[in-house]
Structure formats: structure tokens, C-alpha cells
Chains A and B, each alone.
Chain A
Amino acid sequence: MSLIEMRDIQKHFGAVIALGGVSFDVQAGECHCLLGDNGAGKSTFIKTMSGVHKPSAGTMLVEGKEVVFQSPRDAMEAGIATVYQDLAMIPLMSVTRNFWMGREPVRKFGPLKLIDFETANRVTMEEMRRMGINLREPEQAVGTLSGGERQTVAIARAVHFGAKVLILDEPTSALGVRQTSNVLATIDRVRKQGIGVVFITHNVRHAMAVGNRFTVLNRGKTLGTAARGEISAEDLQDLMAGGQEMAELEGSLGGTV
């Protein structure tokens, strides 16, 4: 059974049809890559999956049961954690405060319920170390971390809070080579723990490196899903760009794209 299954999801923003019937599913322990060009609807799609948008039509099933998310909180409670493309972290705040945001551990001091910073700091350090990042101190502001480290904090947070499905929206788009391979290694590690990963990217090589299945979106529709080994990087690239045009472009650029 799929961890999460989306059937014929549509999303309209006024006159704009951002999604025109997209079906998609994620199995436990797999990395399902969602590819597509700018504006294809990838972000919109995963935002419906994570409760930010309500679909205009279509059904969502979590472990076989139909669900309707009213808010991101509902999705989080159903085990769907999302690391967003643009806003993963609050840079002015410390790593610990970001890590626990919305689920701060509290301890009772008489009538007061105060954040248990001792536990919060310790767990944050442990989880970051497991992801291969040594923090100077947990009170360090997230703004002082590199882009890859920020992504890792967000992923570590999702995993720690028991995510069954982890959605990553272009986690590698702003990263250099080393940081990209760190994030890809993290994805691989998370997947091996039995979590289903949805990995959004423009970059076919990044997708090929960790993906088990590949779905290509184009102008709000799926062009199809292929399993690893069934499709080559070149074919994926073509699909993403809408096939024909890309082939022509590639010719004129001498096959360098």
C-alpha cells in the first residue's frame, strides 16, 4: 500500500489552472522524484500534498484512507513533513528554536510551562551530528549556516518528528557540488530508514543519483512515471523540456545541455 496517494488532483488559482489532474504516489523506503520545468506546477502540487493549498478537485489517500487537510498542521500530524523551496528556516533564530518550532518541548515549573532548553539543545545536537553536521553550539543562529546545512536542519527536524513522508522542494537548487552531495547522501540515508521521500528537482543528474521512480510534470499535467532503469537520463531531460524543442535546442548547442 502507498504511504500517500494523490488521484487526479486539480488546483485552480482563479483563471490559472496550475494543476490539471495529477496522480502520484509514494511507497515506504523509496525516493520518488518529481521533475519539471519552471512553472510546471511542482511546488503547487506538493503544497496540496502538505495541506497548504486545498485541491480544487481530486482525492488524497494516506495509507489507504481518504483525507482532507485543512492546514499544514493536519498534514504534519498525518506524518507528512515538507521542506520548502523558499522558506525552510527562520535565519534570525537559533538552530534549536528552529528545530523545535511549533513543537517545543516543555517542562512544568510550578504553574509555568517553560521550554526545556536542556533537552531541546541536546537532541538538536544529536540529530545534527547524525546527519553529519557538527554545530558550534545549538544557540547559533540559522543565518550563520550554509544553504546545505540549513536544508539538513530541516530534514533532520522532519525525520526526528516521525515523518513517514518527507517532501523536499528543490533542496539542491542553490547548492554547490559538495553540499549537494551531502544533501543527496542525507536523502539516501532517510530513505533507507523506511521513509518515503518526494524529491523535487530540475536537475536530472541529481534525480538519477537517488531516485527510485521519476514523474515528470509539464504545464500542470503528468507526462508519465518511470521506474529506475526503465528510462535514461537523456529521455528524462527531453520529457522535462517537452521533448521536441529540447532536441532541437540540443542540436544547436552541440549537445552540451
Chain B
Amino acid sequence: MRRPFSSLHTTGGPAMTATTDERVKSVSGFRRAMIRPELGAICGTILVFVFFVLIAGDTGMFAAQGVMNWTLVSAQFAIIAVGACLLMIAGEFDLSVGSMIGFAGTVIAIVSVQWGWPVWIAIVCAFAVALAIGALNGWLVIRTGLPSFIVTLAFLYILRGLTIWLSILTTRQTIIGGVGEAAQGDWLAWLFGGKIFGSLFVWLADANLIATYDRGARSGQPIIDGIPMLIVWAIGLMIFAHVLLTRTRFGNWIYAAGGDAQAARYVGVPVDRVKILMFMFTAFCATVFATCQVMEFGSAAADRGLLKEFEAIICVVIGGALLTGGYGSVVGAALGALIFGVVQQGLFFAGAESSLFRVFLGTILILAVIMNTFIRRMITGER
């Protein structure tokens, strides 16, 4: 693809590499390592951990069970934050995530309990419907040119309304139970509701590294009986999204679609396809969340997922992403989710008033965003 004459010029390579520009200040390795999009989230994470070690260090928050508790909550936030993160970098929002969680859960319950179909088919149905709605969201945004804020706000209401209506229509109530029994022994249900590494924890308990139950039917068993698949999903999705975003061509196009859609189109990036796929990925993440939750509770409820869309966006913004798109990182969003989970559960451990959670969160949000804006300006030369 290169023109033949380019070889003429590159032969002078080694000698040329020595040239330096007197106007370029040499930048220390430390500074380069520090100035990164996730810096605000890294500082926030350290701050939050120091804070809770000080005020709740002796409450069991950092014992095995406590760690599992806030890890699980953080993983829940992480699953939806990963989707919101890629979508926000691609320059769009999805406010229908919370309603999607309620909707997907209800689809699983209706198909498996009301219709009596196998749970794995119910889960596949939920994913298919969610991906279709995600694609519809994206298609509408692209086609109408309306802000995704408005289009997905409409779906926030439409999906929530449909969820309640469908639930009452089929069962006369807004909570559909019985999924737990139906899911017994179902291979796909296990992928969302199961646990892995159980034997590792038995071994740890035998070695007296973690506590065991000392009473009741499960006496002698470790108090943690495995890693919930929810956490595996969170880690898997984070790794997938991180590699996709930073290492692949498609990732480059995600940044470009959000950074400047027109400039990206001019160089041949299929911006519409990228955006629609990101809406679908967000819907996928919401459905993973919904399925794990349905399997955990053994039921679906029409009010599940309330306000999740905002929590996802907060995680992503704490993580250093730019609200207008084109900038951000999955690592940052994951740290945002960790901060969110630790603060929520930490205040509970510390016995603080639960309303303080919101005060604390709001404060962290402001601090992180101020710091992120400052860092971003240093990196990108924005003025």
C-alpha cells in the first residue's frame, strides 16, 4: 500500500531518530504514568478504602464475608457500568437500562413460569428481546438524529410500563416467583446464578484461612461457598470491553464515533453501525444483570432496576469518561463501580444513616469529576 518512494526516505531512519526538538520538554516517566484518564478514580478508590478502614475496620467489612458482600455489590454496578461506558465513549446515553433490567427479568419469569418453557429458552428469549430493543434504540437515535437522551428516556417509560402491564396481565401481580424451582439443574441458569471455586473455599476453611459456620445445618461448611457467577460476568465483561476498546480496530472506531462522528465518517468509519452495536451491548449488559438477579432471588419483579441507568452513568463519569463522548476508560468505570459498591456497603457496615450514602456519593462524584476534567485538559490539550 505504501508508495515506493517512501523507502527512499526511511533509509535515513537511525540517524534521524537522534533529532530532538528543543521546544519539547522531556516528560518524566512518573508524570507519564500518573497523568491518565483513570487518575481521579484511582485517587477516589484509595480515599474510600482509607476512609472505611478507619471508620469500619473492625466491623467485619474487611473479613472474608464482608469483602464478598461489597465485591458482589460492586460487581453488579460494574456489569451495567461497562455497557454504559462503551456507549458513552461512542457518544450516546442509554437511560432505559434500569427499565430494561425489570423488563428482561419479567420476560424470563413469564416464559419459564407462566408458559412453563425450560429456563434456558426463557433466558435466550430475554436476551433476544433486549438486543432487539437495544438495536431499536440505536436505530431511532441514528435515523431521527434526536439526542439519545430523549429517545432512551421514552424507552425508560415504555419499558417500565410494559413490564408492569405484562406482569399483571399474565399473573395479576407485579412479582413473579417460582423461577428458582424452575431453574434447578438448568445449565444456562447456572451460568448466571451458580457459583464456582467452591472447593477452593472448603480448602481455605480447612486451612483456617476463612471462617466456617459453627451452628445449624451447614455447620462446618465455609461461610463463603464459592464465587458467584455474577462476579465472573463482571470480570469477564470488563476484560472484554477493555481489550475491545484499547486494542482493536473496532475500539478505535468507538472512540472516533464519540469524538467526532463526522470526521470519523469522512475516513470511512461505519459510525452508525458502531453506535447501534453499542446500544445493543448496553442492553446485553442490562440483561446479564437482570438474569443474575432473577436467578439469585428466584423471582422477577416489575420494579427491579430502578435508577440503575443513573448509577451506571455515575460510575462511568467517576471513572473519567467525558459525558459528550470520545474519551474514557473501562478501568475507570470499573473503579467507579468499586467506589460505588464500597461506599454503599461500607456505610451499612459502619452503621451510618443510609441517607448519608447519597451525600457521600454526591461529594465523591463532584470531586472526581473536577479532578478528571483537570487531567483530561492536560492530556488532550483542550482549553
Contacts and interface: CB of A to CB of B under 8 A. Distances in A.
A112 B255 CA distance: 20
Contact of B252 (A76, A84, A115, A130): A115
B267 A115 contact: no
A82 B262 CA distance: 14
Given A113-B248, A134-B19, A93 B256 contact: yes
Most buried by B among A71, A92, A93, A97: A92
Interface in B236-288: 243, 247-249, 251-253, 255-256, 259-260, 262-269
Given A130-B9, A162-B3, A106 B266 contact: no
Given A90-B259, A92-B259, A126-B10, A144 B19 contact: no
Given A92-B327, A115-B249, A162-B1, A102 B269 contact: yes
Given A141-B379, A143-B382, A93 B255 contact: yes
A102 B268 contact: yes
A72 B252 contact: no
Contacts of A93: 255-256, 259, 326
Contacts of B380: 91-92, 141, 143-144
Interface in A137-162: 141, 143-145, 159-162
Contacts of B146: none
A52 interface: yes
B255 A92 contact: yes
Given A129-B16, A134-B24, A162-B3, A87 B252 contact: no
Contacts of B379: 141, 144
Contact of B24 (A76, A100, A129, A136): A136
Given A52-B266, A162-B1, A162-B2, A90 B382 contact: no
Given A87-B266, A93-B255, A93-B326, A106 B260 contact: no
B21 to A, nearest CB: 4
Nearest to A105: B249
A129 to B, nearest CB: 6
Nearest to B89: A92
A104 interface: yes
Contact of A112 (B19, B243, B266, B268): B243
Contacts of A115: 247-249, 251-252
Most buried by A among B247, B255, B268: B268
A78 B359 CA distance: 59
A101 B256 contact: yes
A73 interface: yes
B381 interface: yes
Interface residues of B, number: 40
A89 interface: yes
Contacts of A87: 260, 262-263, 266
Given A104-B252, A136-B24, A91 B259 contact: yes
Contacts of A114: 243, 247-248
A63 to B, nearest CB: 16
B352 to A, nearest CB: 39
Nearest to A192: B5
B28 interface: no
Contacts of B267: 72, 76, 101-102
Contact of A72 (B5, B6, B247, B265): B265
Contacts of A246: none
Interface of B: 1-3, 5-6, 9-10, 13, 16, 19-21, 24, 27, 243, 247-249, 251-253, 255-256, 259-260, 262-269, 322, 326-327, 379-382
* Shortest 10 CB-CB contacts between residues of A and residues of B: A144-B381, A143-B381, A87-B263, A90-B259, A73-B268, A134-B21, A141-B380, A143-B380, A102-B268, A102-B267
9 contacts: A71-B268, A72-B266, A76-B268, A82-B266, A87-B260, A90-B256, A92-B255, A92-B380, A93-B255
Given A92-B326, A106-B248, 8 more contacts: A87-B260, A91-B259, A92-B255, A92-B382, A97-B252, A104-B249, A112-B243, A134-B21
